[in-house]
Structure 1
């Protein structure tokens, strides 16, 4: 029985040590800090993705503006050659590209707003992480001091008089950890917000025909303007 009792005591001591290690506020605080850093990296990756989309839209806008200018030049050249049919075709393409450019600009405005929002989120989250890091180090130092005091007291009196203080320190560390993890999760949720929706044409046939007539009227008006500029007004 004596041998079995000693073996049982050893197992119990190891289990107790393992459980104490799991409840160590130093480890809990470090894990929470690492989680917050991971979330910050996620925010930054999402920000980089949105900025990439912004740059891509800006490139498309530049291309559309050049296309519009090219169609204008083509229409002028066609009129000089008395090819009104080609001029009208060029102006029709110009009109389409102008509408495309308007859509790009609208999307660009939404992305710019999203980028600014993510930048603000990243800045605030970074400040919170730095504040948490400072609190973490203070808490760890407090816990280490409490542990040292417990060991000194136990070695001198054989009685653990500081268990209540250590328990309170553990509770404070857990409460601060829960608060910071909740903040981290709230900030992380912002990075999962969508940026743009795919455009869908839901117009009925009548609306499309009216839009086509409007485009044609705009082309005719543009054509008359160019004719007047080139002295081709009939």
Structure 2
């Protein structure tokens, strides 16, 4: 199973339920990034283990190759000493060492392939991770803008504004009622307090003007009145 298949299984297992529940997309993005970072660590750990294993296999391959060379030398020595039986045994041991050398080389080829694949996958995953982080930053910015727009629109359409205006209108009506209550004390009295004072001022002006008029015409009238009495 490839790295991206494994990563997809890991992510999908955690994300499907979140998406179904309409979770915060920013949380989903952070989870994806976290899963990708965890996968990077896991793959690097596996690659490091494979590299260490390859070094061990290389040492074993060199050892089997050295053994095969040693058995070849011993086979020649045995023949020079007319010990064909020993030469035959040395050649058998040489073949076994060469066979093990080939087995180890095949194991090294498998590990080399795995390391190369891991290197390729790590490069792709790192690129995808960088892309995901960049998109996450853009997503955060888009989310902030969207939340700001929602807040403004909620303020424009929120009933709180209408409620505040309604309370203000009720306050105005209450003040109007208080003023009306004050004015109601003047009802039934015929005249208001202000109108009575205004009337007093008008009467005083009339009396003053009447007195002035009497002073002007009072002497002739008074004289005529005395003549009528005397007659």
TM-score range, shorter chain: 0.5 to 0.7
Unpaired runs of 5+ in structure 2? Answer: 1-21, 160-231
- Please report how far the alpha carbon of residue 93 of structure 1 lies from its aligned counterpart in structure 2 after TM superposition: 0.6
- Please report how far the alpha carbon of residue 88 of structure 1 lies from its aligned counterpart in structure 2 after TM superposition: 1.9
Greater relative contact order: 1 or 2 (C-alpha under 8 angstroms, separation 6 or more)?
A: 1
Say whether the 8 Å CA contact 1:36–1:129 is kept in structure 2: yes
- Please report how far the alpha carbon of residue 156 of structure 1 lies from its aligned counterpart in structure 2 after TM superposition: 4.7
1-side partners of 2:42 and 2:105: how far apart?
28
Say whether the 8 Å CA contact 1:71–1:91 is kept in structure 2: yes
C-alpha offsets along residues 112-146 of structure 1, whole Å, 9 cap, x if unaligned?
A: 22221121111111111111110111011110121
2-side partners of 1:27 and 1:40: how far apart?
20
- Please report how far the alpha carbon of residue 73 of structure 1 lies from its aligned counterpart in structure 2 after TM superposition: 1.7
Q: After alignment, is 86-95 or 107-116 more displaced?
A: 107-116
- Please report how far the alpha carbon of residue 157 of structure 1 lies from its aligned counterpart in structure 2 after TM superposition: 4.8
2-side partners of 1:109 and 1:127: how far apart?
27
Unpaired runs of 5+ in structure 1? Answer: 1-21, 160-234
- Please report how far the alpha carbon of residue 30 of structure 1 lies from its aligned counterpart in structure 2 after TM superposition: 1.3
Q: What are the equivalent positions in structure 2 for 1:52-63 lying under 5 Å apart? A: 52-63=52-63
2-side partners of 1:28 and 1:105: how far apart?
45
Q: What are the equivalent positions in structure 2 for 1:183-198 lying under 5 Å apart? A: none
- Please report how far the alpha carbon of residue 151 of structure 1 lies from its aligned counterpart in structure 2 after TM superposition: 2.2
Corresponding position of 2:131 = 131
Decide which structure has the larger Cα Rg and report it: 2
C-alpha offsets along residues 162-218 of structure 1, whole Å, 9 cap, x if unaligned?
A: xxxxxxxxxxxxxxxxxxxxxxxxxxxxxxxxxxxxxxxxxxxxxxxxxxxxxxxxx
Corresponding position of 2:74 = 74
Is 2:155 the partner of 1:155? yes
Say whether the 8 Å CA contact 1:25–1:140 is kept in structure 2: no
1-side partners of 2:28 and 2:107: how far apart?
43
Say whether the 8 Å CA contact 1:61–1:104 is kept in structure 2: yes
TM-score by length of 2: 0.54
Corresponding position of 1:113 = 113
TM-score by length of 1: 0.53
- Please report how far the alpha carbon of residue 27 of structure 1 lies from its aligned counterpart in structure 2 after TM superposition: 2.2
2-side partners of 1:45 and 1:123: how far apart?
15
2-side partners of 1:32 and 1:111: how far apart?
29
C-alpha offsets along residues 54-82 of structure 1, whole Å, 9 cap, x if unaligned?
A: 22221111111100111112222333333
Q: CA RMSD in A?
A: 2.2
2-side partners of 1:88 and 1:101: how far apart?
20
Is 2:143 the partner of 1:140? no
